[in-house]
């Protein structure tokens, strides 16, 4: 027993000394001299630079993109870039912005422009400016960027620039080898002391190789990764996130090792990483009079724990403004809850941590969940690193929610919708458009890290169903006009369809709302002119979102002798246009499962005889289905359509089947109605 205690105390003392040695040997304070890498300008062969004819589809070509992360008492990242501008569209690469955050510093910026006549124009210090990325928010005044425009740039110019970032910590940035334009040489170098144990994950595409070399000069480790002649990433509709289809390398500082003993930093398991993060967070979960008073006010006369949670959640969701700063770009640790509560704004981790603190005031345990938005791509589970996450949400044990206890997936029970995972109910207080206990579309079907002191673990944020995410369009069209049709339409949205549209509309002015709705309507109905509209359920999240339209559009009737031929397909399926192309390189990725139901009633206005070649259609695949039917209702003709996307990710090798599905839809909607009127 005594020996075990001594071993435990020895271990604590050793790790404390190890930490002190680490801080002394890698001091980042500005009181010590800093030696930045001197970047020499390249000797360019100006007679043999890439031309537009060599890259007909490119706006520019990166001749060099070179990065180096070096630890020699300080943590310095240096980047050197050379770009050939091929046409007017490529001029955007001459506008440079270098973001940096609290404690980090940008130094040693230099640049030059080489014009077509070989004239060289140097970047002047007065051309370099610093701006605050979030000037209206005091808590984020330390999020800044250096900005400059390369001088005298024109088509055919070459721009060359370099800079260094002095980091406050030894966490190396990731590196991407591929971009929107060709890159002739992309290289990243990591040079660190050998007692810092880094791991790396190389996510490389199969169609071009990444060369790797590792050496050990003088008690250091030097790793170089480079790619040559990397092609541009060609965009496709509904393609996967770029991080999943480009070549990229991630670095993780896993441990510090001295004198045969190793101290874990990020660790080799998600549980260790979560535990370390929780140790940094938990000290700030403390009582505060102002917060406690607000919590008491919000929960007065409420007995149900679930209703108390909802009252506090509604407050944080609606009363604390959200400032969008990714975890990777902002500080890792949230601001103190009282600061966020007092200032009435915060980023995702600030709002999540405030919510956790407020729930603690009423004895409810809630936990942070580090997540990665779907548009950023999947996390790599075999590579433990906090740098893979860019968002934070909250998990509350499902035991507080009597309706969902034991459920593992997105479930619908009565009129209650919840998102659950591993006996926790998940919700995102940053999204003002998302109902209580639901998760917005950008987190569906992603992996996230539940942060707890001893039981941190990865969990899956489940996907909703096509049934839950519906748009129902009910449309009445008066076809009695000679040149135009008049139409009234009601569009009712639920689930993610409502959340997405609410997110857009709630941040727009009335003018912007009308422009947005006009644009959506014109894509849906060719030639449509909006006359009036109304929106209900925009702020009441317990109700569906309903948009009512009144508009007119050119008549689609063609006169043939004594008959009129009408195309009933007035509402277009915009997905059909882009998924019937001949070939495809990437998987198809939809944001979420969904269903679109259209009920279009044509009001003839007169007694008439109707003939139609519209046959009932039903098309069904594992990824989606479609149906079409037509019926006569007195003097009216009613077209019913039902379209669903069931699977959100469809491999590229299944594209022929997907293409066939949408071609069948396209063909079925070419049918017409023949109308003869009794005069």
CATH assignment of the domain containing 480:
2.60.120.1130
Q: Is 2 inside any structural domain?
A: no
**Among the three residues 198, 227, 258, which one is the final residue of a domain in this structure?**
258
Residue 292's contacts (CB-CB under 8 Å, 6 or more residues apart) are 361
**Among the three residues 433, 461, 489, which one is the final residue of a domain in this structure?**
461
Residue 1's contacts (CB-CB under 8 Å, 6 or more residues apart) are none
Query: Do residue 455 and residue 588 come from a single domain?
Result: no
Angle between helices 305-319 and 289-299 (to 10 degrees): 120
Asked whether the beta carbons of 421 and 408 are under 8 A apart, the reply is: yes
* Sign (positive or negative) of CA dihedral 509, 511, 517, 523: negative
- Name the CA dihedral angle for 465, 467, 469, 473, rounded to a multiple of 10 degrees: 160
CA–CA gap between residue 66 and residue 22 (Å, rounded) = 29
SS3 for 357?
Answer: helix
Q: Is 82 inside any structural domain?
A: yes
CA–CA gap between residue 208 and residue 55 (Å, rounded) = 18
What's the confidence (pLDDT) of residue 204? 67
User: What tokens were used for 3?
Assistant: 């020996």
Burial of 421 (0-12, 13-18, 19+ CB in 10 A): buried
What's the confidence (pLDDT) of residue 626? 95
Q: Is 11 inside any structural domain?
A: no
What's the confidence (pLDDT) of residue 283? 81
Q: Is 265 inside any structural domain?
A: no
What's the confidence (pLDDT) of residue 527? 87
Query: Do residue 283 and residue 419 come from a single domain?
Result: yes
Q: Is 34 inside any structural domain?
A: no
Query: Do residue 250 and residue 307 come from a single domain?
Result: no
Query: Do residue 286 and residue 327 come from a single domain?
Result: yes
**Among the three residues 426, 442, 461, which one is the final residue of a domain in this structure?**
461
What's the confidence (pLDDT) of residue 323? 79
Query: Do residue 567 and residue 630 come from a single domain?
Result: yes
Query: Do residue 645 and residue 669 come from a single domain?
Result: yes
CA–CA gap between residue 188 and residue 168 (Å, rounded) = 20
Q: Please give the backbone phi and psi of residue 387, each rounded to the nearest 5 degrees, phi first.
A: -70, -10
Inter-CA distances, 62 with 25, 65, 157, 212, Å: 37, 7, 12, 21
CA–CA gap between residue 120 and residue 159 (Å, rounded) = 10
Query: Do residue 236 and residue 286 come from a single domain?
Result: no
Q: Is 30 inside any structural domain?
A: no
CA–CA gap between residue 6 and residue 9 (Å, rounded) = 5
Q: Is 85 inside any structural domain?
A: yes
Query: Do residue 360 and residue 506 come from a single domain?
Result: no
Pairing of strands 220-230, 248-258: unpaired
pTM, two decimals, is 0.82
What CATH number should be reported for the domain holding residue 144? 2.60.40.3140
What CATH number should be reported for the domain holding residue 431? 3.10.620.30
What's the confidence (pLDDT) of residue 502? 95
Query: Do residue 225 and residue 330 come from a single domain?
Result: no
Domain containing residue 373: 270-461
- How far from each other are the two terminal CA atoms of the chain, in whole angstroms? 106
Query: Do residue 564 and residue 653 come from a single domain?
Result: yes
Total domains in the fold of the chain: 3
Show the low-confidence residues of the chain (pLDDT under 70).
Answer: 1-34, 102, 133-142, 204-206, 257-267, 324-331, 403-418, 481-482, 557, 559-564, 605-612, 675-679
Q: How far is CA 640 from the centre of its chain?
A: 35
**CA-based Rg of the chain, rounded to a whole angstrom?**
30
Report DSSP state, residue 648.
S
CA–CA gap between residue 161 and residue 111 (Å, rounded) = 4
Query: Do residue 604 and residue 671 come from a single domain?
Result: yes
Asked whether the beta carbons of 395 and 425 are under 8 A apart, the reply is: yes
Query: Do residue 251 and residue 359 come from a single domain?
Result: no
Asked whether the beta carbons of 106 and 165 are under 8 A apart, the reply is: yes
Q: Is 427 inside any structural domain?
A: yes
Angle between helices 289-299 and 348-360 (to 10 degrees): 70
CA–CA gap between residue 473 and residue 599 (Å, rounded) = 6
Q: How far is CA 441 from the centre of its chain?
A: 10
Residue 296: left if φ>0, alpha if ψ -120 to 50, beta else—which one? alpha
What's the confidence (pLDDT) of residue 14? 42
């Amino acid at each position: 027993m005594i020996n075990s205690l001594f071993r435990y105390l020895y271990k604590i003392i050793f790790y404390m000394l190890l930490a002190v040695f680490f801080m002394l040997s890698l001091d980042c304070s500005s009181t010590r001299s800093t030696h930045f890498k001197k970047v020499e300008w390249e000797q360019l062969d100006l007679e043999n630079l890439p031309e537009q004819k060599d890259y007909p589809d490119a706006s520019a070509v990166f001749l060099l993109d070179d990065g180096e992360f070096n630890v020699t008492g300080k943590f310095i990242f240096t980047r050197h870039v050379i770009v050939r501008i091929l046409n007017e569209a490529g001029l955007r690469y001459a506008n440079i912005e270098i973001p940096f955050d609290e404690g980090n510093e940008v130094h040693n910026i230099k640049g030059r422009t080489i014009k077509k006549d070989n004239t060289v124009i140097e970047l002047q210090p007065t051309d370099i400016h610093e701006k605050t990325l979030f000037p209206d928010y005091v808590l984020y005044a330390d999020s800044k960027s250096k900005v400059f425009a390369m001088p005298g740039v024109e088509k055919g110019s070459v721009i060359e620039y370099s800079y260094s970032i002095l980091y406050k910590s030894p966490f190396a940035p990731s590196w991407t080898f591929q971009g929107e334009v060709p890159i002739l040489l992309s290289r990243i170098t990591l040079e660190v002391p050998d007692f810092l144990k880094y791991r790396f994950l190389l996510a490389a595409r199969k169609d071009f190789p990444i060369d790797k070399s590792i050496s050990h000069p003088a008690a250091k480790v030097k790793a170089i990764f480079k790619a040559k002649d990397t092609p541009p990433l060609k965009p496709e509709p509904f393609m996967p996130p770029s991080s999943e289809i480009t070549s990229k390398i991630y670095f993780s500082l896993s441990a510090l090792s001295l004198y045969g003993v190793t101290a874990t930093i990020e660790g080799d398991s998600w549980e260790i990483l979560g535990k370390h993060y929780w140790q940094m967070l938990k000290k700030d979960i403390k009582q505060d009079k102002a917060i406690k008073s607000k919590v008491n006010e919000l929960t007065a006369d409420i007995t149900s724990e679930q209703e108390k949670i909802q009252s506090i959640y509604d407050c944080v969701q609606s009363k604390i403004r959200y400032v969008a700063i990714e975890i990777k770009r902002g500080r890792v640790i949230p601001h103190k809850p009282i600061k966020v509560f007092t200032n009435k704004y915060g980023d995702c981790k600030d709002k999540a941590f405030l919510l956790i603190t407020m729930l603690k005031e009423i004895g409810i345990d809630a936990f942070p969940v580090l997540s990665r938005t779907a548009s950023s791509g999947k996390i790599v589970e075999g590579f433990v690193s906090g740098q893979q996450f860019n968002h934070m949400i909250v998990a509350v044990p499902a035991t507080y929610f009597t309706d969902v206890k034991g459920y593992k997936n997105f479930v619908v029970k009565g009129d209650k919708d919840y998102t659950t995972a591993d006996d926790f109910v998940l919700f995102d207080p940053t999204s003002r458009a998302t109902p209580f206990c639901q998760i917005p579309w950008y987190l569906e079907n992603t992996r996230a890290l539940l942060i707890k002191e001893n039981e941190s673990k990865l969990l899956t944020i489940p996907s909703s169903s096509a049934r839950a995410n519906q748009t129902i369009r009910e449309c009445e069209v008066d076809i009695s006009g000679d040149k135009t049709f008049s139409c009234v339409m009601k569009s009712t949205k639920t689930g993610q369809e409502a959340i997405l549209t609410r997110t857009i509309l709630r941040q727009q002015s009335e003018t912007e709302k009308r422009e947005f709705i006009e644009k959506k309507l014109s894509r849906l109905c060719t030639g449509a002119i909006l006359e009036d509209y109304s929106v209900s359920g925009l702020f009441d999240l317990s109700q569906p979102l309903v948009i009512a339209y009144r508009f007119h559009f050119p008549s689609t009737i063609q006169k043939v002798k004594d008959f009129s031929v009408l195309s009933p397909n007035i509402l277009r399926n915009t997905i059909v246009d882009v998924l019937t192309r001949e070939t495809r390189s990437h998987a198809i990725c939809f944001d979420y499962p969904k269903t679109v139901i259209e009920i279009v009633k044509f009001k003839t206005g007169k007694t008439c005889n109707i003939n139609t070649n519209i046959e009932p259609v039903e098309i069904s695949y594992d990824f989606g289905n479609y149906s079409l039917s037509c019926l006569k209702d007195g003097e009216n003709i009613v077209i019913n359509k039902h379209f669903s996307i069931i699977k959100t990710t469809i491999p590229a090798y299944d594209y022929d089947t997907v293409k066939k599905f949408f071609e069948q839809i396209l063909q079925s909607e070419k049918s017409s109605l023949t109308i003869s009127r009794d005069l």
